[in-house]
Structure 1
Amino acid sequence: MLVTVLGRYSPYAPAGGACPGFLVQSGGVNLMLDGGNGTVSRLQQQVAAADLTAVLVSHLHPDHTADLHSLQYLMAHQAPDREPLPVYAPDVANPDRHWLEPTSFGARWIRLLPLPVDEGIAFGHVRVFFARTDHPEPCWAMRITDGSRTLVYTADTGTGVDLAPFAAGADLLIAESTFVAANGQRRKGHMLAAEAADLARRAGVKRLLLTHFSPHTPIAEAEAEARAVFPAAEAAVELRTYLV
């Protein structure tokens, strides 16, 4: 299983960066997790539109969805003969969900579906399970396994929900690390680097990838703060592909 970082910043990206998004690949299955500003351009550097299996949206905040409206045009121009691309998003009362709906033009190429948070979902040999996180907007973490390797993506979360049982034993944990303790910033529904590392330690995962940085977060400090708690931690690098 491979995971490519399409973007790592929130709530906006600094020059040259992108907001949250990941491409997970295993044996012909290609899943896009979230799609913040700048991610669709980078997606095209990694996989052909015709080969994209599905998009999974953790929650409806724009920094995780802003690029997904344009997917219908990407599919129409680059994969006009394929079946509609399934986009799974939380079925919650939020007007922002409207932006994921296909236009009358795009209905041929995009199919918006409820995120199957209770039963999970399978794409061939790849299975995905979900867990509610601690975030003001309803948000779900994802546990993805291909039968041999397991990846867990926290999406946005604070420490009010313990995701350690959900992430237990994962080969790679991708956890949000919006702030560092040293700069004194804090916001409900988000974690410090040390808190992400503590989650990794308690879950017994093999490796931790830090993401969802504020543009003002010093990345080197976030890495150092996390490694003091969980040595196998590192900051996600945009457009780098990691072997899970």
Structure 2
Amino acid sequence: MRLTVLGGSGAWPTAAQACSGYLLVHQGFRLLVDPGFAVMPRLQEHTSPAAVDAVLVSHGHPDHCADLAPLLRARAYADPPCPRLAVHAPHGALDAVLALDRGSAVDGAWDLRSFDPGDAFPVGPFLAETRRLPHHVPNAGLRLTAAGTVFAYTGDTGPSPHITELAAGADLLLCEATFVDRVPLLEAPYLLSAELAGRYAAQAGAARLVLTHLWPGTSPAEAERAAATSFQGPTTVARPGLTVPLP
């Protein structure tokens, strides 16, 4: 299994980084997780739109799913058109994005497979296990297992004991870390800090931690410092092009 970061900027893309977007590859199967704002150009640095085998979306905020629209366009208008793309997402999460091209050739470009956070289902060679994690909209934390290797991803979340369950013994935890040390009071139920992410990684016994969804302008070094107060394993911030091979 191999993870490639396409973007990890929180809320909006910067000049240097797309929003959340992650390419997970196992046995040649290419799974795109969370195609957020500006992910489509970064995706094409690593593979073609036609080569994506499935998409998995954690929740419906546009910084996690907006670039599904250009991905579907590229596939629908290819010559010949690509087969329907399996798109897995919580019920209703993609209504706005999929409505952008209603009545066009893009209507036939996807096969929407909705799920409820808490469900488990196969995605190619992966077993996807999900947990509902607290956010402003329904959000599915993801635990993807293939050939004994475990990748865990929080999507966007506030504090929850389900994070530790999701990441238990994971080879890699990709964790929301919008803030560094302290989450503002109004956002505290819905988002995490890098310090909290480190705590969850340590509690879960994860082998490696990648911090993502940092607020634009946040110092990666400061985020890594905060996580290291609790987690002693390898820690880094999601940066475009970062590739992590998993055993």
> What per-residue deviation string (whole Å, max 9, x for no partner) do you get for residues 22-44 of structure 1?
00000021111111111011111
Question: Partner residue of 1:155?
Answer: 155
Q: What TM-score, normalized by structure 1, do the two folds share?
A: 0.91
Deviation at 1:211, TM superposition (A): 0.5
Identity percentage of aligned residues: 34
| 2:209 matches 1:208 | yes
Do the aligned partners of 2:135 and 2:157 also contact (CA within 8 Å) in 1?
yes
Greater share of strand residues, 1 or 2?
A: 2
SS at match of 1:191: coil
Change (3 A) 1:161 1:79: farther
Do the aligned partners of 1:132 and 1:138 also contact (CA within 8 Å) in 2?
yes
SS at match of 1:221: helix
Deviation at 1:119, TM superposition (A): 3.7
Choose 193-202 or 227-236, whichever is displaced more.
Answer: 227-236
| 2:48 matches 1:51 | no
Q: Structure 1 unaligned runs (5+)?
A: none
The one-letter code matched in structure 2 to 1:76 is: A
| 2:191 matches 1:190 | yes
Question: Partner residue of 1:243?
Answer: 245
Question: Partner residue of 1:63?
Answer: 63
Do the aligned partners of 1:56 and 1:115 also contact (CA within 8 Å) in 2?
no
Change (3 A) 1:132 1:4: same
Change (3 A) 1:79 1:123: farther
Count of residues paired in the alignment: 241
Separation in structure 1 between the aligned mates of residue 47 and residue 13 of structure 2, nearest angstrom: 22
Do the aligned partners of 1:176 and 1:196 also contact (CA within 8 Å) in 2?
yes
Question: Partner residue of 2:102?
Answer: 103
Q: Structure 2 unaligned runs (5+)?
A: none
Choose 227-236 or 170-179, whichever is displaced more.
Answer: 227-236
Separation in structure 2 between the aligned mates of residue 163 and residue 51 of structure 1, nearest angstrom: 31
Separation in structure 1 between the aligned mates of residue 126 and residue 80 of structure 2, nearest angstrom: 25
